[in-house]
Amino acid sequence: MDRLKRKKYEKLLEPMQGELVSMARWIAATGQRMVILFEGRDTAGKGGVVQAIADKINPRQCRVVALGKPSEAEAGQWYFQRFTQHLPGKGQITLFDRSWYNRAGVEKVMGFATPDQVEAFLTAAPQFEKMLVDDGIHLFKYWLTCDQAKQEKRFAERLSDPLKRWKLSPIDAAARARYADYTAAREAMLEATHTAHAPWTLVDFNDQRRGRLTLIRHLLDRLPSTRCEEATIDWPPLGHKPLEEEFGVLEPIKMRGTDAD
């Protein structure tokens, strides 16, 4: 299947983003809470789909969480503790760009967690997620799949592009040789944590644009009816000629021209 062209992708995405805005309006109006986890290999496309979902939603309502390496203090906490503080309140959405499943993936494969810690996590995660679901949170878990050839191509693009090079780390370089180990870790994770109350959904992200559309459509189709009347705003005429801004204490810097001007 040919890679989806940007213009067609944007045309297909636009109405879905309208549905996402409607979803957010429904969540706010009804006081729902939503958590979406995005997991997958490095370069799979987690950041891109998170951005596509959050792009048109009020950022005060939709929070994107992408946590870094835990601090020494956090490393001594209950494992789920640093994630719980980012759970949504009434009428809110949280998108986790990587989540508590780091323990079953990179921490396991790269040796940052002991086998006992990983085993304890795999036992605790379904129980933790059941508490979230039982408390009324809408929980969705997505794993983005990516073949190694695609991954290598994306690594090369990041390496050659100064604007993307920040996405690379020594961990990425070390992980390249452990593609099969990550596969085994993922399968063990799915076997232990794919539950009726919090199932996983795997989405093919070898074509990231098609993957985003597929994931967003799947998300929207799993929700109940989100039709919600949009509040009307009384917007009377201004009543006078629009005023130009006036400045006394300071002046704004002058606009700079471009070669296109």
| 9-53: pLDDT as tens digits | 999 999 999 999 999 999 999 999 999 999 999 999 999 999 999
* pLDDT, the chain, mean: 94
- Look-up of token digits 């700079």: 256
Rounded Cα distance between 121 and 103, Å, is: 7
pLDDT at 191: 98
Length of the chain: 261
Q: With beta carbons less than 8 A apart as the criterion, state whether 256 and 53 touch.
A: no
**154-192 burial code (b ≥16 CB/10 A, e <16):** bbeebeeeeeeeebeeeebeebeeeeeebeebbeebeeb
Q: What is the pLDDT of residues 144-164, one digit of tens each?
A: 999 999 999 999 999 999 999
Confidence of residue 186 (pLDDT cuts 50, 70, 90): very high
pLDDT of 256 reads 86
pLDDT at 259: 64
pLDDT at 224: 85
Please enumerate, as own/partner, the contacts of 159-167 that have beta carbons within 8 Å and a separation of 24 or more. Answer: none
- Helix 208-221 / helix 46-54 crossing angle, nearest 10 deg: 50
pLDDT tens readout for residues 92-134: 999 999 999 999 999 999 999 999 999 999 999 999 999 999 9
Using the predicted structure, report yes or no on whether residue 260 has a pLDDT greater than 80: no
pTM (predicted TM-score): 0.91
Q: Which domains does the chain have, with CATH numbers?
A: 6-221 (3.40.50.300)
Residue 168 near residue 158 (C-beta atoms within 8 A): yes
**Is residue 135 scored above 80 in pLDDT?**
yes
Positive or negative, the Cα torsion across 208, 210, 211, 216?
A: positive
Mind listing the pLDDT tens digit for each residue in 215-256?
Answer: 999 999 999 877 777 778 898 999 999 999 999 999 999 988
Q: How far is CA 184 from CA 77, 101, 178, in A?
A: 27, 14, 10
Letter for the amino acid at 48? G
Residue pair 165/159 in contact by the 8 Å Cβ criterion: yes
| Contact by Cβ (8 Å): 84, 96 | no
